[in-house]
Amino acid sequence: MFKKVLVANRGEIAIRVMRACRELGIATVAVCSEADKNALFAKYADEAYLIGPAPSSQSYLDMDAILDVAKKTGAEGIHPGYGFLSENAEFARRCEEEGIVFIGPPSNVIAEMGSKIRARNLMIKAGVPVLPGTKDAIEDAEKAKTIADEIGYPVLLKASAGGGGIGMKVVNSREELANALNSTRQMAGSAFGDSSVFIEKYVTEPRHIEIQILADSYGNIVYLSDRECSIQRRHQKLIEEAPSPIMTPELRAEMGETAVRVAKAIGYVNAGTVEFLYSKGKFYFLEVNTRLQVEHGVTEMVTGIDLVKEQLRIACGKKLGLRQEEIVINGHAIECRINAEDPLNDFAPSPGKIRRYRSAGGPGVRVDSGVHMGYTISPYYDSMISKLCVWGRTRQEAISRMERALYEYVVMGVTTNIPFHKAVMRNPVFKKGDLTTNFIEDHNILEAVEEVVKSDAAKGATLASAFEPKDKKVAAIAAAVESYVSMAQKTQR
C-alpha cells in the first residue's frame, strides 16, 4: 500500500480522498491556491503546499507545480479527484514518466475516451449499442444537412472533446443546422482547444443512467450499482440516486454486462463510470467517465463498498477483492448537490461568505463538505457547498429522509439551491420515479421553487431563525467568534 498520496484537488472531494487514506494509514499531501490556503481540506492533510494564485490555470491545473510537490514530498501516488486534471491524459502520462502512480486509468485510456468520436467508434466495433450518428468530425454544413436528413430531426451536435454539458446543441430543423454547426465548433475550440464536432440522433425524453465499474490490472472487472442521473440543468447533474427507479434485475444485468464489455474493449483499469441514455426500453452508450464521479456516494451507500479505498488498492497493484456475485444492492440512496447558486436566476453562481452554517444529520444522512461558518465561496471555482446523501430501506423512505435533511440544512450569507431540491422532492412525478433529462422544464420546477422560497420565508421552515442573534449581546458574541476564527486562520502556517 502507498505510504503517501498527494491529492491534486480541493474542497469536499479532497477531504473525501484524504479520509480514505487516513483509514488505510496513508499520509496525505494537499496542494492549494492562495484562495484556499486556509480551507478545511488544506488543514485536514498531513502536509499542505501553496502552488499558485487563485485562478485554476495558475494553480490546480499547473502540472509542473503539482508534480514538483509530489517529488519534493515523496508522494508515491497522485489522486486527481474529479474535475481539474482528473481526465487529463497528458497529466496521467507525465505521472507515469515520473514514476508516480496516477490513481486512475492509464493515460492511453483517458486519451481514447477523451475523444467522443474515437470512443463512439470503439463502441461500435465492440458491439455496444450507440445512437445513430456520424463516425467522423463534421465541418461542412452541406454534408451535415445530408447526414441529419438521413438520421431525422431533432439531432444533437456534440463537441468531441466536450464535457460537463459544454459544446452540445440541439437542432430541430435543416434551417438551423449551418449556424448551429459554426457556433458549436467555435465553442468547442474555445473551451477545449479542439473544434471537432459530430452529429448524433437526439432522444427527446431520455433517462440518464450510469453503471459504476471497478477493474484491476489483472483483467478482473465488476459492475456495481446503477445510478439515475436524469435531474439536470444545462446537461449538468443536480440530483442522483441509486438504484434507478426503473431498474429490474434483468435490465441491471444487461446494462452491467455491457459496461464490463466497454471496459474490456478499452483496457480499463481502476474506478470508472459507463454512462447510457435510456429511452423506450432501449439503452445507448453515451460516454465513459475515466474518474471518480461526484455521485459515487450513493453507490457506496447501497453497496457498502468504499470506492476510494478500492481505487487506492487497485493503483497499488492489488487484485480486485470483489466478485460479481458478492455485490448486493441494499436499500435506496439519493444525493442532492448543494450549490451556492440561485435557481431563480438561471442557476447563477452566488459566491460570498457563509455567515451561518449547519448541515443536516441523523440516521441515514451523509454530508460530504469542505465548508464551515465563515468560509468564503470563491468565484474562481465550482460553487458546490456539499453533497447531501441519504439512505433509506425504500425509495419512498429515502425521499422522506431527504426532505427532512433539507429542512435541517441551514446556509446563510449566500443563495443556495436548497429550495430547488425541496421542490423536486415534493413533486408527485418525481416521487413516482417518472424521470427524464427534461424534468425541470417539463414539470415547471422553477415555479415550484418560488413557492418553496415564499413558504420557507413565511413559516421559518429552514430552522434559520435558530441562527439569527436575538439581541445585541448575542449578536456581539457571534461577531466576536467570527472575528476570532478569521484571525486564527490568518495566523496559521
Average pLDDT of the segment spanning 228-239: 94
User: Is residue 139 helix, strand or coil?
Assistant: coil
Residue 263 reports pLDDT greater than 60 = yes
User: Is residue 6 helix, strand or coil?
Assistant: strand
Distances (CA, A) of 110 to 88, 116, 127, 341, 411: 7, 11, 21, 31, 37
**Taking CA 15 as the corner, what is the angle to CA 406 and CA 208, rounded to the nearest 5 degrees?**
55
| pLDDT for 456 | 85
Check if the beta carbon of residue 148 is closer than 8 Å to that of residue 105.
no
Residue 489 reports pLDDT greater than 90 = no
| pLDDT for 461 | 56
Q: In whole angstroms, give the CA distance from residue 181 to residue 155.
A: 11
In the chain, the domains with their CATH numbers are 4-103 (3.40.50.20), 132-201 (3.30.1490.20), 207-459 (3.30.470.20)
Q: Is 39 exposed, middle or buried (0-12, 13-18, 19+ CB in 10 A)?
A: buried
| pLDDT for 190 | 87
Comparing CA positions, the residue from 251, 383, 237, 381 lying closest to residue 298 is 237
Check if the beta carbon of residue 157 is closer than 8 Å to that of residue 169.
yes
Average pLDDT of the segment spanning 279-304: 97
Q: In whole angstroms, give the CA distance from residue 332 to residue 391.
A: 6
**Taking CA 33 as the corner, what is the angle to CA 30 and CA 36, rounded to the nearest 5 degrees?**
80
Check if the beta carbon of residue 240 is closer than 8 Å to that of residue 227.
yes
User: Is residue 254 helix, strand or coil?
Assistant: helix
| pLDDT for 144 | 93
| pLDDT for 166 | 82
Please provide residue 472's backbone torsions phi and psi, each rounded to the nearest 5 degrees: -65, -35
**Which DSSP letter does residue 394 get?**
S
Please, which residues bridge with residue 457 across strands?
Answer: none
pLDDT, tens only, 54-78: 999 999 999 999 999 999 999 999 9
Comparing CA positions, the residue from 483, 485, 462 lying closest to residue 411 is 462
Residue 473 reports pLDDT greater than 70 = no
pLDDT band at residue 457, thresholds of 50, 70 and 90?
A: confident
Average pLDDT of the segment spanning 157-180: 89
| pLDDT for 239 | 98
Check if the beta carbon of residue 77 is closer than 8 Å to that of residue 314.
no
Q: In whole angstroms, give the CA distance from residue 313 to residue 269.
A: 12
CB within 8 Å of 31: residues ≥ 6 apart: 6, 7, 8, 48, 49, 50, 51, 59, 60, 65, 66, 69
| pLDDT for 141 | 92
Residue 382 reports pLDDT greater than 80 = yes
Q: Please report how the helices 445-459 and 418-426 are oriented relative to each other, as an axis angle in degrees rounded to 10.
A: 110
Q: Is 112 exposed, middle or buried (0-12, 13-18, 19+ CB in 10 A)?
A: buried
pLDDT, tens only, 93-135: 999 999 999 999 999 999 999 999 999 999 999 999 999 999 9
Check if the beta carbon of residue 38 is closer than 8 Å to that of residue 489.
yes
Which residue is listed with cell 436499500?
Answer: 331
Long-range (24+ apart) CB contacts under 8 A made by 180-186 are 181/138, 181/141, 181/144, 181/157, 182/141, 184/157, 184/158, 184/159, 185/139
Cβ atoms within 10 A of the Cβ of 34, count? 15
Check if the beta carbon of residue 6 is closer than 8 Å to that of residue 66.
yes
pLDDT, tens only, 386-427: 999 999 999 999 999 999 999 999 999 999 999 999 999 999
pLDDT band at residue 164, thresholds of 50, 70 and 90?
A: low
pLDDT, tens only, 312-371: 999 999 999 999 999 999 999 999 999 999 999 999 999 999 999 999 999 999 999 999
pLDDT band at residue 177, thresholds of 50, 70 and 90?
A: very high
DSSP β-ladder status, 101-102 and 77-79:
parallel
**Of 126 and 191, more confident:** 126
**Which DSSP letter does residue 354 get?**
-
Check if the beta carbon of residue 421 is closer than 8 Å to that of residue 406.
yes
Residue 246 reports pLDDT greater than 80 = yes
| pLDDT for 460 | 65
Q: In whole angstroms, give the CA distance from residue 329 to residue 226.
A: 10
Check if the beta carbon of residue 272 is closer than 8 Å to that of residue 266.
no
Q: In whole angstroms, give the CA distance from residue 366 to residue 387.
A: 8
Average pLDDT of the segment spanning 283-303: 97
Residue type, 377: I
- Of the residues 291, 313, 337, 401, which is catalytic? 291
Mean pLDDT of the chain: 93
User: Is residue 106 helix, strand or coil?
Assistant: coil
Active-site residue 291, yes or no? Answer: yes
Please provide residue 490's backbone torsions phi and psi, each rounded to the nearest 5 degrees: -70, -30
